[in-house]
Every structure is written in structure tokens, then in C-alpha cells.
Chain A
């Protein structure tokens, strides 16, 4: 009980820390955007058009240069993202690295400040998560508590940045934890509340959008919202795959990785000379897209495509930053396009903003894999129940269609490419990432293939084992024999022969990097006491064995830990 209350208090503290960090980050981005002539306000207040054109190209390019150098100091050579947070929590690894956390936040700050077409919520989520994980490590808490503190940081960051505490809590559960245990809920809620309180007191402006409309859509329009959801899923898919495709393409470019962001920045700046809407997070573009008549149809398509390409270019070429804010802009433009088409057909009344918001939700929910969070953001930002219901209609089709066609979220797709498949749930992901190495045992009988069968039986008998592993002079694995096989040979009076002549049933072996999940699968085909672990890469070197009992024990332990974490109340 006391420990649980302590965790709630810790959650609130982490919430405060993460919220302050988020406030600092957001303010710094705004200041940089004004100072570096990225924000429209800064650009309008600057008097020299020629110099403005030069800085428009130069600032993102130089920003890219700085970001590229920052990334050289990260072990993986790229900034960490919410995907890393999800991976750490889903595999119960926890322990987000501090150095990479700080550098990733810095990279996000420079990227956003220099006007790259990326989002701020990704870096904020990762920053909050890193702070949470650091606190857990500092207090020497266990892995389950580490997961909870990570979720606290995430919830506070979202609650602060969006002024939306409920969305923060749900995001931490829906995207990061992926379970709803009371034990995690209370600290996460505490963190979100603290974040919200700090945000309302310190961050006076900064809410994403406000809607004062009170129009009510006609019944048939809800059908349109659902259909928009379906098409929004396709836009989301195009967006995600564009990012991944540019990433692959960038890998083949004959340019040093640390210079790629600068290249993307220069390209972005050049296009922004004609279409400044694609610079930065695009809050003004987002707002205009909710106003009927601010863009005509052609402009909507142009800005939508350019923003999509610009974001894919920036993120794919290695700028640090999130995918959420650009998705909001793209989605809103898409919704506005639908609204304009329906308006041109003479069907809609004054419900334009509904289409914009439906498009926004339909594109963002699949990208971050969080339909509920997207709905709550709409609800908490607009306070409009009708608008939320419309958004619900569009997310109904958007999320499942995108999940079927592309994957649960961009993060999940990225993790799957790294070998962490979360599509079958956390249990499997956990077992897949749990390594067998520490289960490896040398307590087994190894025989030279040239050993005589009689001797082998004796050795096995003395060793108290039923199986022996054939290992040659060079330490290479040559198969296994069971006591039963050897006895059969001896019955047939072939005891003087060598073990290598004994018929063997082929048995699977495991690699040194095999997971508990893989081992459990092998067990289905094996009857015996242990499975040999063999390193293919080192010429079939025999490393030892893993006992079936220890595999089963590991499986049960992991399942039990998960059960405690996900169903514990305190």
C-alpha cells in the first residue's frame, strides 16, 4: 500500500519534471522560430525580402547540419523516438538511455527550431519517457515500476503540450503501456494532472486549435464522416510509407549520413520560397485548413502533397522530430479537401470544420495507433461533443482499415522492421525479446564422435544424463545421441563401434541469440531433456545446452511478471 502510494507521488513528481521540460521545449521552439525567421510572425516582422529568402533556405540547411553532427554522438546514429519508448516498455527492458535521450531532445529542438517539417510531440514524448525512466533508475526501482514511470513522463508531456490531461493518460495506456492496470493508472493520472496544472499556469498560449462553431451536422453527413475515415486511412498509409521509403532511399544515397539532414533542409527551404506553408510544424496551415474558403481545392491538394513529401524527406533524411504534428496538418488539409468537394457539390451547410476535424483524426489516429487519444484531443481542445462524435464516426473505419493494410502504427511498423513484432501482443513480443543466453548450461555430456558406444553409455550413466552431444576436436557440434539409441546399438552387439555411427534422430538446435519464444516453439517438436545451442556463424561451435525445464521456467516467469504488471492493483 505504502509502496503504491509512493509510486503515485513519484508519478506526480515525474509529471512535474516532464511538464516543465515540455514547457521549456515548446517555448524554446517558439523563440527559435521567431528568431530564425521561420514563424509567419517572425517573417512578417522582418523587413528585408531578399534576406528573408536567403534565410529561408539557409536556416533549415544549417539546422540539418547541426542535427547531423548531434546524431554522430548517438550510438545508433539517429535520434530516439517514441518507438524506442514503446519497445522498452513492451519488452519490459525499460532503462531508456540518458545520453541518447538528451541528444534526441536536442536534435528535435534544433530540427523544429530551424523549421524542418517535423512534429514536436515525438521529442516531447521521448523526453518525458527518458525523465521517467531516469527517475526509476535513480531510485533503483524494478522493471515494472520503470515502465510505469516511463508512462508517467509520456502522459505528462502530452497533457502539457496539448493542454489535454485525459488524452495524456489515454495515450500512455493506449500507445506505450498497452494495458490498463490500476497500478499504472493512478501514477499516470497523477502525472497528467500535474502536467496539466503546470501547462495552464505557465503555457498560456499554445493550444493547437480552438473551435467556436456550434453547427450540428445533418444525419447523412455522419455517413460521409465514416467514408472520410476510410480514405483517411489510405492517406495515413501513404504518409507512413513515404517516410519509410525516403528512409530506405536515403540509405542508398552517396552522401555521408550526417550531411543528409542538411540536404533535406536546403530542399525544404527552396520549396518553401513558393509554398511557405510546409515550413515547421504548420500550426497556421492547420488553422487555415479549418476555415472554409482559405484554400481552394487545387491549393489544398498542392499543400497536402508538398507537406507529405516535405515531412517524409525531413524525417527520412534524418531530421529529429515527430510524425504527429505533420500528420495533423496533412489530415486537416485532407478533411478540408473533402469538405470543399462536398461544399462544391452543394450539399454541406456550415459544417466545414467538421470535415476538417474528421480528416485530421482519420489520418493521425492510424499514424500513432491511438484512436481514443485522437478523439480525446479533439474533445479536450474543442470542448465540443458534436465534433467529437463526428470524429468518432471517422475513426471507426480509419483505424481498423489502416491496421489491416499497414500495421497498428508507424511505430509498430518501424519496430517490426527492427525485428520486434508487436502485432501479436505484448506477451509474444516479450518472449521474443527475452534471450536464452543466461539459461545456457554447460552441465551436459559431450562426446567425441570417435568415442566407442560402450564407453559412451558408461559416461552417460555416470553423468546421470540421458543425452549426449557430439562435439569434434574443433569444438563443432556433430549431433546428439540419446542413451536409448546407444543401448539399442549395444543390444545389437555394436558396442565397439564409434558413436558417430549410431543412428540419430535429427533434433533442432538453437542459435546463441535465440529467444525464449523460439525455444518454446522448438520444444513442441522435441522430446528430450535439453536443446543444444550452436553458433552457426562460428562454424557450428557448440556453446552448451538449454534444459527444457529452464525454458518452461523462463516462460512462466515472464508470463507471471506480465500478469503482475498488467493486472496488479497495487
Chain B
């Protein structure tokens, strides 16, 4: 019975998409071949996985080609485009904190929480998605994490087990690389004092908390700052640093596909939500919404998580994550939301950053970067 039901549902959604395709393409009919969906995403291995799990299947079902542009997460360009009234993208893959800022600046279209389809077993989307996934202008599709990775060969006989070890150059000697932003670094610095994760942002709101964190970061010798997401992997690969912060997906790629001798320290991982958002003045907002419904289905989310280790935002999708189709790696162990990895995870407080980042950046700049520019990595 359940299987039949499932089949009917799939048939229905297929029919819906076909109808949408007809509606979307008929007015323009002969002038333009078919309207393409233009997506702004992050490039690299991430985009390749999206291509395979989401974009290609979407084109297959609807016939709508997907054109992908790349960006580095900055919303300045979006702001500019909305101000001009001409936005070249239909859909943006952005972090939840950026989406919240952009939503507050009215750069995004509102999205209904009913947009995603229910889970295969009929659980409504609101209960199937993790907390904080369905926002006014954005819908979380994956959870990624900033973690610390270390060279396996750097510390003979021991390995770091907790985030405080990042700052312990006595027991774990060697250069470090950290992202050149206050985010994540401040959280880790305070965690290393034994502050429980529930209190991190409350304590970081005080000057005392900030200066404790800066002091801890400043105590690191041989610190390199990175900006682009592939730098930490390169620094680790070249043995220029022994521990580096970075995105878990990039480290996974280096570990599995490039066989680098590195491991991930999951303790203290800072989780962020990656969302879909539709910009204002998008040329094809309806196709974008249909794509969101397609791409946030449990099946597609699980397919993406089999290719790249980002935690699906749906509980039903997390249960379906299995092995990588090519390498056979058990992807469940590599997604940030796996219970073993998430034991001491922090969820980045977007609201806090959204409303205080200007000041925090300022303090960060003054406390750490002004006298340290020389050691910056390209």
C-alpha cells in the first residue's frame, strides 16, 4: 500500500512539473528555445555534486536547463542588482545568516513554509525539517560545518580530541591556519576555556568575553590567516601548517579523493545552514520555487548528501544517506549532523552575527589583525 502511495505521489509530482514546464515555456514558445533557470552557487566540488544530484535531474524531469553562476558568498552584488532592478539570477544558494540579512534588506522574495513537499511517509514538512530551517525568505537544504583538520603525521603518538587542543601548542606544536573572520574563531577560543556551548554567544557579548577570546587567539604562534575556502587544504597539503580550520566538505574531498593524510576534529564544529533563496526581480521566480520543491525533497537531499558530506535539513533524508556512489565511502560518518560528530556542535547564532558583526569585525581587526598583517596567507 505504502509503495503504491509513494508511486502515485511521485507520478503526481512529475506531472506537476511537466505542467509547469508547459506553462512556463509556452508564452515565449518560439522566440527563446526554453527558459533556463539561473542559479548562483559556490563552485568547486560542491557545485559538481549539485550538478549531479539536483540540476541534471531537474532538467531531466522538466526539460528546463540550469545555468550556474559562481560567487563567494558576498551579497554586495545582489544588493547592487536589486537596486538596479535587474537581477541576473533566479535562485541563490546562500548561508542562512546572509539570507537573513538579505531578507531584512528586502533583497529576497518571501517563501511559504508549505513550499517543500511532505516526507515520503507523509510527515508534513514543518515537522520533517530541522529547527530553524524554514525562514521567511529562505529554506535550509543542508547543514555544513566549519571544523578543524590536522595532519595525521604531525603529532606522533597522540591526536587532538577537543577544540582546546587547537590552542595548545605545547602538546600539539606547529603552525595553525584560521579563517580571517571573527566567526568560528571566537567561539572556539571561548570553548577552550571550558565555557559550555550554550553560553558562548552570551559571554561573547561582553567585552570581557571578547578579550578572553582574542587573548587566546593571539597566544597562537605561527598563525596564518586564510580567506578562500581552498587555502586551508593547500596549507595542510603543503605541510605549511599542522592544524587548520576549514569547511568540512573541502576536508572530506582532500581526505577521500586526494588521499591527504589529514583527519577532522569534530569537537566544537560550528554548524551553519545553507539555504535556497529567490532574489527580488528574478526573471523566473516560479521556476525557482518549483526547483526548491524538487531539490528539497527527501530523495534529492539524500542523493546530494551521498556525493558531498553536508547534513540534509530533513530528518527523513538523513535516514536515507548511504554510501558514496563512486568511492563507496560510508557518507553517514562524514556528515556534520551524524550523532557522533554532532555531540559538541555549536549552531552559529545568525541573529547575533547579523546584528553585531560590524562591531565584532572592528574589535577583531583591532585586536588581532592590525599588527599581524605580515603573516597573512594568500
Q: Footprint of B on A, CB under 8 Å?
A: 39-41, 43-47, 205, 207, 210-213, 276-277, 283-284, 287-288, 291, 293-295, 353
Closest Cβ of chain B: how far from A299's Cβ, in Å? 9
Q: Closest CB of chain A to B90's CB: distance in Å?
A: 33
Q: Do B359 and A44 have beta carbons less than 8 Å apart?
A: yes
The residue on A at minimum CB distance from B351 is: A45
Contact A288 B356 (CB under 8 A): no
The chain B residue with its CB closest to the CB of A45 is B355
Among residues of A, the one whose C-beta sits closest to the C-beta of B353 is A45
Known A45-B352, A210-B196; contact A40-B358, beta-carbon cutoff 8 A? no
Could you tell me if B195 and A287 are in contact, using CB atoms closer than 8 angstroms? Answer: yes
Q: Which residue of A lies closest to B204 (CB)?
A: A44
Select B202's contact among A47, A284, A293, beta carbons within 8 Å. Answer: A284
Q: Answer yes or no: B161 CB below 8 A from chain A CBs.
A: no
B174 within 8 A of A: no
Query: For residue A44, which residues in chain B have a CB less than 8 angstroms away from its CB?
Result: 204-206, 352, 356, 359
A353 to B193, CA, bound (A): 11
* A210 vs B344: C-alpha distance when bound (angstroms): 14
Q: Scoring B residues 336 to 350 as 1 if CB is less than 8 Å from chain A, else 0, what string do you get? A: 000000000000000
Show 27 A/B contacts (Cβ-Cβ < 8 Å), sorted by A.
A39-B202, A39-B205, A40-B202, A40-B205, A40-B206, A40-B209, A41-B202, A44-B205, A44-B206, A44-B352, A45-B355, A47-B359, A207-B198, A211-B194, A213-B194, A277-B208, A284-B206, A284-B209, A287-B199, A291-B193, A291-B194, A291-B212, A293-B215, A294-B208, A294-B212, A295-B208, A353-B194
B352 near A41 with CB under 8 A, answer yes
Assess the B205–A291 pair: CB atoms within 8 A.
Answer: no
Q: Other than the known A44-B206, A210-B198, A294-B212, what 14 A-B pairs have Cβ atoms closer than 8 Å?
A: A39-B202, A44-B356, A45-B351, A45-B355, A47-B358, A47-B359, A207-B198, A210-B196, A284-B203, A284-B206, A287-B199, A288-B203, A288-B209, A353-B194
Q: How far is the CB of A258 from chain B (nearest CB, A)?
A: 34
CB 8 Å contact bits of B212-247 with A (1 = contact, 0 = none): 100100000000000000000000000000000000
A220→B369 CA distance, assembly (Å):
44
A351 vs B206: C-alpha distance when bound (angstroms): 25
Q: What's the Cα separation between A529 and B370 when bound, in Å? A: 94
Q: Which residue of B lies closest to A40 (CB)?
A: B205
CB neighbours (8 Å) of A284 from chain B are 199, 202-203, 205-206, 208-209
Of chain A, the residue at the smallest CB distance from B355 is A45
Asked if B201 is an interface residue, CB under 8 A from chain A, the answer is: yes
Which of B205, B206, B355 counts the most chain A CB atoms within 10 A?
B206
- Closest Cβ–Cβ distance, residue A56 to chain B (whole Å): 14
When the two chains form their complex, are residues A43 and B205 in contact, meaning their CB atoms are under 8 A apart?
A: yes
Contacts of A294 in B (CB 8 A): 193, 208, 212
Of B194, B205, B209, B359, the residue contacting A212 (CB under 8 A) is B194
Docked pose: A212 CA to B268 CA in angstroms: 14
Per the 8 Å Cβ criterion, residues 170-212 of B in contact with A are 193-196, 198-199, 201-206, 208-209, 212
Asked whether B195 lies within 8 Å of A291 as measured between CB atoms, the reply is: yes
Measured between beta carbons, the chain A residues less than 8 angstroms from B351 are 45
> Which residue on B lies nearest to A350, using beta carbons?
B194
Set of chain A residues within 8 Å of B205, measured between Cβ atoms:
39-41, 43-45, 284
The answer on a CB contact under 8 Å between A41 and B201 is yes
List, in ascending order, chain B residues with CB within 8 A of A207's CB.
198
B210 and chain A: residue at smallest CB distance = A44
| Assembled-state Cα–Cα distance A41/B209 (Å) | 11
A interface secondary structure, majority? loop
Seen from chain B, the residues whose Cβ lies within 8 Å of a Cβ on chain A are: 193-196, 198-199, 201-206, 208-209, 212, 215, 351-352, 355-356, 358-359
What is the CB-to-nearest-CB distance from A249 to chain B, in angstroms, rounded to a whole number?
Answer: 32
Residues of B contacting A293 in the complex (Cβ-Cβ under 8 angstroms) = 212, 215
Taking CB atoms, residues of chain A closer than 8 Å to B215 are: 293
Closest 10 CB pairs of A and B: A40-B205, A44-B205, A210-B196, A45-B355, A41-B205, A40-B206, A44-B356, A291-B193, A45-B356, A205-B198
A210 CA to B198 CA in the complex, in Å? 10
Instruction: Check A47–B194 contact: CB distance below 8 A.
Output: no
Cβ of B209 to closest chain A Cβ, rounded Å? 7
- A7, chain B: closest CB distance, angstroms: 37
- Tell me which residues across on chain B come within 8 A of A47, comparing CB atoms: 355, 358-359
Bound state CA distance, A213 and B199, in angstroms? 16
**Shortest beta-carbon distance from A274 to chain B in Å:** 12
| Nearest B-chain residue to A212, judged by Cβ | B194
Q: What B residues does A353 contact at CB under 8 A?
A: 194
Task: Give A336 to B292 CA distance when docked, in angstroms.
Answer: 54
B352 to chain A minimum Cβ distance, whole angstroms, is: 6
Complex-state Cα separation, A210 to B196, whole angstroms: 7
- Min Cβ gap A545→B in Å is 67
A41 to B208, CA, bound (A): 13
* Complexed CA–CA distance, A205 and B347 (Å): 14
Contacts of B206 in A (CB 8 A): 40, 44, 276, 284, 288
Q: Which residues of A contact B212 (CB under 8 A)?
A: 288, 291, 293-294
A212 touching B196, Cβ below 8 Å: yes
| Closest Cβ neighbor of A43 among chain B residues | B205
Residues from chain A with a CB closer than 8 A to the CB of B201 are 41
A208 → chain B closest CB, angstroms: 11
Q: How far is the CB of A350 from chain B (nearest CB, A)?
A: 10
A210 to B204, CA, bound (A): 17
**What's the Cα separation between A284 and B212 when bound, in Å?**
13
A283 to B358, CA, bound (A): 26
A295–B208 Cα gap in the complex (Å)? 8
B199 (CB) vs chain A CBs: closest residue: A287
A291 to chain B: which residues have CB within 8 Å? 193-195, 212
Q: Is the CB of B352 within 8 A of A287?
A: no
Alpha-carbon separation in the docked complex, A210 to B202 (Å): 14
Nearest chain-B residue to A283 (Cβ)?
B202
- With a cutoff of 8 Å between Cβ atoms, the chain A residues found around residue B204 in the complex are 44
Q: Which residues of B contact A295 (CB under 8 A)?
A: 208
Enumerate chain B residues within 8 angstroms of A213, measured Cβ to Cβ.
Answer: 194
A49 to chain B, nearest CB (A): 9
Shortest Cβ distance from residue A357 to the other chain B in the assembled complex, whole angstroms: 13
Q: How many whole Å from B343's CB to the nearest CB in chain A?
A: 13
Q: Which residue of B lies closest to A288 (CB)?
A: B208
- In the complex, A211→B201 CA distance in Å? 17
- The CA-CA distance from A207 to B195 in the complex, in Å, is 13
Set of chain A residues within 8 Å of B195, measured between Cβ atoms: 287, 291
A283 and B355 alpha carbons, distance in the complex (Å): 22
Provide the bound-state CA to CA distance between A297 and B215, in Å.
Answer: 18
Point out the residue from B203, B355, B356 that lies within 8 Å of A287, measured CB to CB: B203
Whole-angstrom CA separation of A414 from B202 in the bound complex: 36
Least Cβ distance of B328 to chain A in Å?
Answer: 38
Q: Which residues of B contact A205 (CB under 8 A)?
A: 198
Give the residues in chain A near B193, CB-CB below 8 Å: 291, 294
Residues of B within 8 A of A43 (CB): 205
Contacts of B358 in A (CB 8 A): 47
B306 to chain A, nearest CB (A): 33
Bound CA span A395–B196, Å: 26
In the bound complex, how far is the Cα of B231 from the Cα of A484, in angstroms?
Answer: 113
CA distance A522 to B174 in the complex (A): 85
Q: Which of A43, A207, A277, A287 has most B Cβ within 10 Å? A: A287
Q: How far is the CA of A291 from the CA of B208 in the complex (A)?
A: 11
Q: How far is the CB of A78 from chain B (nearest CB, A)?
A: 32
Tell which of A40, A44, A47 has the most Cβ of chain B within 10 Å: A44
B209 cross-chain contacts in A, Cβ below 8 A: 40, 284, 288
Q: Which residue of A lies closest to B201 (CB)?
A: A41
Which residues on A sit within 8 Å (CB–CB) of B208? 277, 284, 288, 294-295
What is the bound-complex CA distance between A481 and B194, given in angstroms?
81
Nearest neighbor of B197 in chain A, beta-carbon distance:
A210
Closest-CB distance, A204 to chain B (whole angstroms): 8
Tell me the nearest residue of chain B to A211, going by C-beta.
Answer: B194
